Amino acid sequence: MHIEVAKFILVAGEMLLTSGAEVYRAEETMERMGAALGYNVEAFVTPTGILLTVSYQGEFFTKVRRIRYRTQNLGRIAGVNAISRGLSMGTLTFEEAKAKLQELRVPAYSTGQKLIAVMVASGSLTFILGGSGWEIIIAALSGLIAYSVGFILERFNANSYLSSSLASFLVANCVYTAQVLLPNISVPTVLVGGLMVLVPGVAMASAVKDIVQGELLSGTSRAVEAIAIAGALAAGSAIALGLWR
């Protein structure tokens, strides 16, 4: 039973962290879940790993979990939060909570829906930046390419710096090609809209929230990650820009 509880809490914490939640949220949620189940939980979380000790009547269980990838999954953060809330209020039993946690692994949207969302988002961002007509259409297609490259490379375990710079390079080349055919389009407007799907905005926001909460170690390491990805994006389009000059 103790081991079951420790595993459950660890999986919940891991889900939060791999979904891009703030470190303080992961720690708080794990401790709250443990308290709701009648266990004393001490958690030490960094963006790259979780250290968890569950104690019960003088017995201790400690588990370490390395975290090697981080994505952005707000649905899972909300889901784990709801489970923790349910456990605290007593509306969920341990077995129900375990089943619900497994349900969260199912993605909320199909790949097709996400591809449409990418096109809508990239097109609208280009409109916001002052784009119109063809620029919006090309940005929507660029967003589609950028997202697909990331999606495919993820299957091959590529790290986010490789996929960001490669996607950015490909998209920039496509936009320059489009400009040859349609000389009136503005390359920056289209490119920025199309690449926004790869910009690490969530990582940046979490970094700041962690720093404000006093989690300086996690905050700075996440901020560095965000800046490095932004740098990879800039490098990818810089190479393309240099080639087409």
Partner 1 sequence: MSFLDISRQFMAAFLASGGFSILFNLSAKHLFFASLVGAMGWLGYQFVVPISGSIMATFLAAAIVSLLAEVLSRILKTPASTLTVPGIIPLVPGMRVYRSMEYFLHGNNVNGLDEVAMTLLVSGAIALGIAVVGSLFRLKKR
Which tokens go with 62?
């400690």
* Number of helices and strands in the chain (H, E): 10, 3
Cβ atoms < 10 Å from Cβ of 148: 15
Nearest-approach distance from CB 129 to partner 1, in angstroms: 6
Per-residue contact string for residues 190-209; x = within reach of partner 1 by CB under 8 A:
-xxx-xxx-x-xx-xxx-xx
Per-residue contact string for residues 106-125; x = within reach of partner 1 by CB under 8 A:
-xxx---xx--xxxxxxxxx
Per-residue contact string for residues 129-168; x = within reach of partner 1 by CB under 8 A:
x-----------------x---------------------
Q: Do the Cβ atoms of 97 and 81 come closer than 8 Å?
A: no
Q: Do the Cβ atoms of 171 and 145 come closer than 8 Å?
A: yes
Nearest-approach distance from CB 64 to partner 1, in angstroms: 26
CB closer to partner 1 out of 212 and 216: 212
CB closer to partner 1 out of 45 and 209: 209
Measured distance CA(141)–CA(174) in Å, rounded? 9
CB closer to partner 1 out of 55 and 241: 241
Q: Which of residues 50-109 bind partner 1 (CB under 8 A)?
A: 72-79, 81-82, 85, 107-109
Measured distance CA(15)–CA(41) in Å, rounded? 17
Cβ atoms < 10 Å from Cβ of 102: 9
Nearest-approach distance from CB 162 to partner 1, in angstroms: 19
DSSP letter, residue 198: G
List the one residue out of 213, 201, 166, 167 whose CA is nearest residue 20.
201
Nearest-approach distance from CB 188 to partner 1, in angstroms: 5
Which tokens go with 1?
């039973």
Q: Which of residues 210-239 bind partner 1 (CB under 8 A)?
A: 212, 230, 233-234, 237-238
Nearest-approach distance from CB 148 to partner 1, in angstroms: 12
Measured distance CA(99)–CA(137) in Å, rounded? 43
For residue 181, what are the contacts with CB-CB under 8 A and spacing of at least 6?
Answer: none
CB closer to partner 1 out of 67 and 208: 208
CB closer to partner 1 out of 54 and 185: 185
Nearest-approach distance from CB 5 to partner 1, in angstroms: 23
By CB atoms closer than 10 A (0-12, 13-18, 19+), residue 186 is middle
> For binding to partner 1 (CB under 8 A), which residues are involved?
21-22, 25, 72-79, 81-82, 85, 107-109, 113-114, 117-125, 127-129, 147, 188-189, 191-193, 195-197, 199, 201-202, 204-206, 208-209, 212, 230, 233-234, 237-238, 241-242
